């Protein structure tokens, strides 16, 4: 950020990501200018980028995908845009590649939490890093561990729970000893509740949340791993996988799709995923197709709304 930077705020600025990553505060601290948009709609935000010569913007993945699709018809001059940050939830590689093709600016992935740790892809990282990871910790003094269910470190590249400790990560919750004991290890690492892996260069790839892990008949399945497989299939524009309570399995796997072609049947979908290398115990038990995503107030996909919808929708036969 410099004095010449112009930041467009389209997300609610009371949230950490648009407020301070670097966001509004970071821009103003460097003498730059902040432009506030009433909505995140392409009809309003993109003309603002053109008229105000905006250089930086921050989006959540669901909104970024809508912006990418809108460029098929929205023709505002976005040549001033230097950096598009995407955070608040993991961005899948296919969407990241589509954004890089559509917008002539640097894509920066951002991952963090209110308790502390911030990770960014660097502006000079290669395309593979920017499109398939959430980057490295902000500070060289940040410490991260990826651990198994017994909190033992896992090999590099394996998925586990992300623990972190560092100069700006809190060490406990105010006047909440029980919550602190549950959320922090004895040596001061914060249990983030995120499932992640780390490559040999220290880049973090977020695979989902522990609470988004599906316990299907005793098998633990990361929803993100199934979503990644679904998004590779032709005709599928976007996919979300949720855990739905099930009397027999404990939790069943429900795939919720947005498609650009005819709706596949559940058996067809399962067969295609097997062809992509997905294990049989990770295959969806239920399929729903939607025309738009239910969103939370900050623009994230409302998974709880999808679970409620799937709960009252009879699952299709997988035979």
Residue 16's H or E segment, with its range, is helix 16-20
- pLDDT tens-digit profile, the chain (319 residues): 999 999 999 999 988 999 999 999 999 999 999 999 999 999 999 999 999 999 999 999 989 999 999 999 999 999 999 999 999 888 989 899 999 999 999 999 999 999 999 999 999 999 999 999 999 999 999 999 999 989 999 999 999 999 999 999 999 999 999 999 999 999 999 999 999 999 999 999 998 888 778 888 878 888 888 998 999 899 999 999 999 998 888 899 999 999 887 888 999 999 999 998 898 889 999 999 999 999 888 788 899 999 999 998 877 655 4
Does the CA dihedral 39-21-64-226 come out positive or negative?
negative
Q: What is the pLDDT of residues 95-108, one digit of tens each?
A: 999 999 999 999 99
Q: What is the pLDDT of residues 263-312, one digit of tens each?
A: 889 999 999 999 988 988 899 999 999 999 998 887 888 999 999 999 98
Contacts made by residues 261-270, CB under 8 angstroms, sequence distance 24+: 261/234, 261/235, 262/235, 263/289, 264/235, 265/316, 266/315, 266/316, 266/317, 266/318, 267/317, 267/318, 267/319, 269/230, 269/233, 270/318
pLDDT at 319: 45
Give the SS3 label for residue 150.
coil
Q: What is the pLDDT of residues 141-157, one digit of tens each?
A: 999 999 998 999 999 99
Burial of 117-146, coded b for 16+ CB within 10 Å and e otherwise, reads bbbbbeeebeeebbbbbbbbbbeeebebbb
First to last CA, the chain: 55
* Residue 115, token pair as written in the block: 């308790």
pLDDT at 248: 85
* Residue 182, token pair as written in the block: 């549950």
Mean pLDDT for all residues in the chain = 93
Does the CA dihedral 39-108-146-213 come out positive or negative?
positive
> Does pTM surpass 0.85?
no
CA 75 to chain CA centroid, Å, is: 27
* Residue 147, token pair as written in the block: 């651990």
| Domains, in order of start, for the chain | 6-112 (3.40.50.980), 143-209 (2.30.38.10), 217-311 (3.30.300.30)
pLDDT at 220: 82
CA 39 to chain CA centroid, Å, is: 21
Q: Are 62 and 91 in contact (CB under 8 A)?
A: no
Number of Cβ within 10 Å of residue 2's Cβ equals 9
């Amino acid at each position: 950020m410099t004095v010449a930077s112009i930041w467009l705020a389209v997300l609610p600025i009371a949230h950490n990501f648009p407020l301070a990553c670097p966001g509004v505060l970071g821009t103003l601290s460097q003498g730059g200018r902040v432009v506030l948009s009433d909505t995140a709609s392409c009809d309003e935000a993109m003309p603002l980028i053109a008229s105000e010569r905006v250089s930086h913007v921050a989006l959540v993945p669901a909104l970024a995908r809508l912006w990418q699709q809108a460029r098929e018809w929205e023709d505002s001059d976005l040549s001033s845009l230097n950096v598009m940050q995407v955070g608040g939830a993991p961005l899948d590689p296919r969407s990241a590649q589509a954004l890089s093709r559509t917008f002539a600016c640097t894509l920066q992935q951002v991952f963090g939490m209110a308790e502390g740790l911030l990770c960014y892809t660097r502006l000079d990282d290669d395309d593979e890093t920017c499109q398939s990871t959430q980057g490295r910790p902000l500070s060289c003094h940040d410490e991260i561990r990826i651990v198994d269910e017994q909190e033992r470190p896992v090999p590099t590249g394996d998925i586990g729970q992300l623990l972190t400790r560092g100069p700006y990560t809190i060490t406990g919750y105010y006047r909440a000893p029980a919550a602190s004991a549950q959320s922090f290890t004895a040596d001061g690492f914060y249990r983030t509740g995120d499932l992640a892996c780390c490559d040999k260069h220290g880049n973090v790839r977020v695979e989902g949340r522990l609470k988004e892990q599906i316990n299907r008949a005793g098998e633990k399945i990361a929803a993100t791993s199934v979503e990644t497989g679904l998004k590779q299939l032709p005709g599928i524009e976007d996919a979300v996988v949720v855990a739905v309570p099930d009397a027999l399995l404990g939790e069943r796997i429900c795939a919720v799709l947005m498609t650009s072609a005819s709706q596949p049947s559940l058996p067809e979908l399962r067969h295609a995923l097997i062809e992509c290398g997905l294990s049989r115990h990770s295959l969806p038990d239920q399929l729903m197709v939607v025309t738009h995503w239910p969103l939370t107030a900050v623009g994230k996909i409302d998974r709880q709304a999808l679970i409620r919808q799937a709960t009252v929708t009879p699952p299709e036969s997988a035979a």
